[in-house]
Amino acid sequence: MIAIALALEPALLIADEPTTALDVTTQAQILRLIIEIQKKHGMAVLFITHDFGVVAEIAHRVAVLREGRLVELGEKMDVLTRPRDDYTRMLIRSVPTLQPHGRPVPPGAATVLRIRELSKTYVDRHWLGRRRSVRAASEVSFEVRKGQTLGLVGESGSGKSTVARCIVRLIEPSAGEIRLGELNIAELRGAALRPLRSKIQIVFQDPYRSLNPRRTVGEAIMEGPLNYGVPRPEALERARRLMALVRMDPQALGRYPHQFSGGQRQRICIARALAVEPELLIADEAVSALDVSVQAQVLSLFEEIRQRLDLAMLFITHDLRVAARVCDEVAVMREGRIVEHGPASEILVRPREAYTRSLVAAAPGRNFAFASQ
């Protein structure tokens, strides 16, 4: 897309969120490319982004917009280190950093999920009869304990989402164990899985496609409990409580998804996942499509839910800054394998593997001294 935009040799290049939802290494490559092009051609660049980490990497001057109005304009160093407007200060406070939270996992916590040697191989058969095998996950092993958040991090295509989809049995694993308590659910098929699906719930990346536009959010939240035999009045009361838990107005249960913002929809998706009272909650890039201030709110919500409900959480992300904010332990995936695993306070501060170090080095704004957060 950048090459197409440069074909007519423009004097101004407008980049509208070109790195949103990209993994950190790809994002770093795109930012370097834009900087090189700007220097080589001497063109002006208008870079639109919600991420002040990206602003710190690429900008010379910064303009801050709020509700269609320009609230602050100035040199990058002035705006990011000495912001004048309260809204700018709020955005800067919302920027996640690579500093792990340092919260210890309670000793003796029960293991909720145990993965052993999990593998997934996709086989494509071409029309000429040739077969091609792609190993998306290979011999993956980890555990998640009650009250713990484990971060599964890596570039796009590293196998993170494949592992998540195997765990919730949206796809069939090729080999290995997925133990929920003592039960190996990798061996179960069809109707035998139904009683267990409520124990593991997932929140996906895109809140705009996760909800049926023809159903009210109340019906979406109540669907799971109703399917498991909960009486409708009880399911409705549960939906009201969950809306309050995710900081939403229970009176909004009769509204439709298009009437909510992206951050609000993701809160509704979280409420829907919690409605069946799961033991394990999986968040698959659940904040990557949100702007930085809404992202901070949703991350705080995940942490509050983990504490209040004592849930086990598997948090999948390509952004190590997000992992630092919510994860107790981190497992780093590359090409379908876990290459490093340990406490977030060690993996993100003193990574042993060169690949992990490259991910840390690619985190936008990691060396920039923002205004006090």
Decide if pLDDT at 250 tops 70.
Answer: yes
∠ CA 337-363-106 to the nearest 5 degrees? 65
∠ CA 337-338-342 to the nearest 5 degrees? 180
Express each pLDDT in 60-73 by its tens digit: 999 999 999 999 99
Mean pLDDT of the chain: 89
Which of 150-154, 251-255, 278-282, 316-320 is predicted with the least confidence, judged by mean pLDDT? 316-320
Per the CB < 8 A criterion, the answer to whether 81 and 373 are in contact is no
- CA nearest 32: which of 56, 58, 7, 6? 58
Decide if pLDDT at 208 tops 60.
Answer: yes
Decide if pLDDT at 316 tops 60.
Answer: yes
Partnered with residue 316 across adjacent β-strands are: 152, 284
pLDDT of residue 223: 94
pLDDT of residue 27: 86
Give the HSE-up count for residue 33: Cα atoms under 13 Å, Cβ half-sphere.
14
- CA nearest 329: which of 85, 53, 62, 104? 104
Q: Can you give the pTM of this predicted structure?
A: 0.88
∠ CA 329-156-266 to the nearest 5 degrees? 70
- CA nearest 298: which of 269, 266, 273? 266
Distance between first and last Cα of the chain:
35
Which of 97-101, 141-145, 309-313, 353-357 is predicted with the least confidence, judged by mean pLDDT? 97-101
Q: pLDDT category, 106, cuts 50, 70, 90?
A: low
pLDDT of residue 288: 83
25-50 mean pLDDT = 88
Cβ contacts of 160 within 8 Å, gap of 6 or more: 152, 153, 154, 284, 316, 318, 333
36-65 mean pLDDT = 90
Percent of the chain topping pLDDT 70: 94
pLDDT of residue 94: 86
Q: What are the structure tokens assigned to 292, written together? A: 């930085």
Identify which has the larger pLDDT, 132 or 147. 147
What's the chain's Rg over C-alpha atoms?
22
Decide if pLDDT at 24 tops 70.
Answer: yes
Helix, strand or coil for residue 152? strand
Decide if pLDDT at 372 tops 70.
Answer: no
pLDDT of residue 7: 61
Decide if pLDDT at 212 tops 60.
Answer: yes
Which of 219-228, 268-277, 357-366 is predicted with the least confidence, judged by mean pLDDT? 357-366
pLDDT of residue 15: 86
Q: pLDDT category, 6, cuts 50, 70, 90?
A: low
pLDDT of residue 221: 95
Decide if pLDDT at 131 tops 80.
Answer: no
Decide if pLDDT at 373 tops 60.
Answer: no
